[in-house]
Amino acid sequence: MSTGMFLLGFLIGIVVVLILITLHELGHCIVAKLSGAFVYEFAIGFGPKLFTFKGKETWVTIRAFPLGGYCSIASDKVEPPSDREDEVVPKERQMEYIARWKKFFFLIFGPLMNLFIALFIFTTIFAATQSKTNDMDFFGQKFQKDAVAEKLILKNEQKTNPEVVIDQTYVIWGWKLINNEEVLFNNIDNSNPELNSEKIQDSDSLQAPTYTKIVYNFINNLNDLKSNKDIENKEDLKIMFSYKKVNKYDGKVLDDYKQIKTTEYSTSDLYSNKQLAVGIMAPTRFYSSRIEAYGAGWKETFDQSLNILKSFGSIFTKGFKNLTGPVGIATQTATMLGDARTFFSYVAMLSANLFVLNFLIIPPLDGYKTVEILIEMIIRKDLSKKYKIWIYSIGAILMLGLFIVVTLLDFLR
């Protein structure tokens, strides 16, 4: 990737983060206004003001640093913004005097805005294409063009159909590796039980294996062969495959392929960039109807939402290497610009992650504030102001520290 394209992607990444945060704050702002609260300012970004658009009540400001934003609401515990000290705001429009149930909706609607964005993008993409790309839990595999697996199956199929195109409906069922006449590995048949390892799928099965099962069968067994048979130094290494053709929606074997087929042995070098490779990739999952695809968009939203919890939880087992901050997000965006679907799916994933992240019960995130409001609703009085100052201060310091650590790691990566 050229430096120019990287910088463009980095800038687009910053804009994406800014838009997602701005929409999050817009969710808070909308509910605040519906609740009757006096909103001084809706800020896009943070730091020094660059531009101000003065509304009758709420001023919209554009600020210098684009990785943030906020919604400033009248309060008798916080000084009003500069240039607005002389405005008199009735008590009933200050945050402290708004009903607690209204505060509850004010707090949750920011994260919910991010959830709605993720849902809209994922369901639109899935329903429009009726597919999900790179799905390791789906049946079969894609073939890398001109790699050994695609070449051997194509050669075999061209015997009966010269115009055949090898796509992911042709699914690998097993494989056999030899060096000269020595069989190094075989899970196609039972001709030599000692050489038979765990099968990808039984030869008489009418249901295709998942990509995860296929790819890890290759990875695990090839790693064993590298260790025990030193296959990287074999001069006449050849491979063959068994395969079937299946329905692209449910992985059921087609009638003409119930009997397993086998290819010839390869005659070309199996190595690509000094790595033994058969040339398979995660397949695309296809949906038979738009309704099914739309439902899958919902599932994808919640699957992606859970990923941030896994990443956050991995701090205790793997450190910070799985966490990415705004700089890392902007950098990753640069790699997503080549394909519209990939880019918008990434944006949706970020929005889903923001939804969950903001609901973590950590002060001063919305999740903690929501729990705090619920407690106050139950006990029917405010929690101690001193307690709130302490807990928010500690939480803010911890969050700032985490932000600094993750940002530094982003730069080091």
Query: For the whole model, what pTM was predicted?
Result: 0.86
| Whether pLDDT at 228 is above 80 | no
pLDDT for position 282: 97
pLDDT for position 77: 80
Range 214-243 average pLDDT: 85
Instruction: Give the span between the Cα atoms of 147 and 172, in whole angstroms.
Output: 14
Query: What is the per-residue pLDDT across 53-81, written as a single tens digit (0 to 9) for each?
Result: 999 999 999 999 887 899 999 988 888 88
pLDDT for position 67: 79
| Whether pLDDT at 136 is above 60 | yes
pLDDT for position 102: 94
Q: Which residues contact 150 (CB under 8 A, 6 or more apart)?
A: 143, 144, 166, 279
pLDDT for position 194: 57
Query: What is the per-residue pLDDT across 356-381, written as a single tens digit (0 to 9) for each?
Result: 989 989 888 999 999 999 999 999 88
| Whether pLDDT at 195 is above 60 | no
Specify the DSSP class assigned to residue 195.
G
Instruction: Give the span between the Cα atoms of 197 and 190, in whole angstroms.
Output: 10
Query: What is the per-residue pLDDT across 307-348, written as a single tens digit (0 to 9) for each?
Result: 888 776 666 566 666 677 767 777 777 778 778 999 999 999
Q: What share of the chain is helix, strand, coil (3-state, %, to 5)?
A: 50, 20, 35
Confidence of residue 269 (pLDDT cuts 50, 70, 90): low
Phi, psi (degrees; rounded to nearest 5) at 59 = -95, 135
335: which 2 tokens? 């790699």
Instruction: Give the span between the Cα atoms of 63 and 280, in whole angstroms.
Output: 48
Range 3-19 average pLDDT: 83
Instruction: Give the span between the Cα atoms of 218 and 199, in whole angstroms.
Output: 10
* Beta carbons of 231 and 276 less than 8 angstroms apart: yes
Instruction: Give the span between the Cα atoms of 126 and 399, in whole angstroms.
Output: 35
Instruction: Give the span between the Cα atoms of 127 and 131, in whole angstroms.
Output: 8
Confidence of residue 190 (pLDDT cuts 50, 70, 90): low
Helical spans, DSSP H, in 240-384 = 290-313, 315-318, 326-333, 340-358, 366-379
Q: Pick the range with the lowest mean pLDDT from 22-31, 37-46, 294-303, 320-329.
A: 320-329
Q: Which residues contact 139 (CB under 8 A, 6 or more apart)?
A: 171, 207, 208, 209, 210, 211, 246, 250, 251, 283
Q: Determine the residue type at 308.
A: I
Q: Pick the range with the lowest mean pLDDT from 167-176, 213-222, 231-240, 297-306.
A: 231-240
pLDDT for position 283: 98
Instruction: Give the span between the Cα atoms of 173 and 101, in whole angstroms.
Output: 58
Phi, psi (degrees; rounded to nearest 5) at 154 = -60, -45
The residue ranges of DSSP E strands in 55-200, in sequence order, are 59-73, 131-132, 142-143, 170-179, 182-186
Q: Smallest Cα–Cα separation from 107: which of 328, 308, 374, 301?
A: 374
Q: Determine the residue type at 119.
A: L
| Whether pLDDT at 158 is above 60 | yes
Q: Pick the range with the lowest mean pLDDT from 98-112, 129-143, 192-206, 275-289.
A: 192-206
Confidence of residue 407 (pLDDT cuts 50, 70, 90): confident
Range 288-302 average pLDDT: 96
pLDDT for position 196: 52
Q: Hunting for tokens 């042709």 — which residue is that?
A: 170
User: What is the pLDDT of the chain when averaged over all its residues?
Assistant: 88
Helix (H, G, I), strand (E, B) or coil at 163: coil
| Whether pLDDT at 51 is above 90 | yes
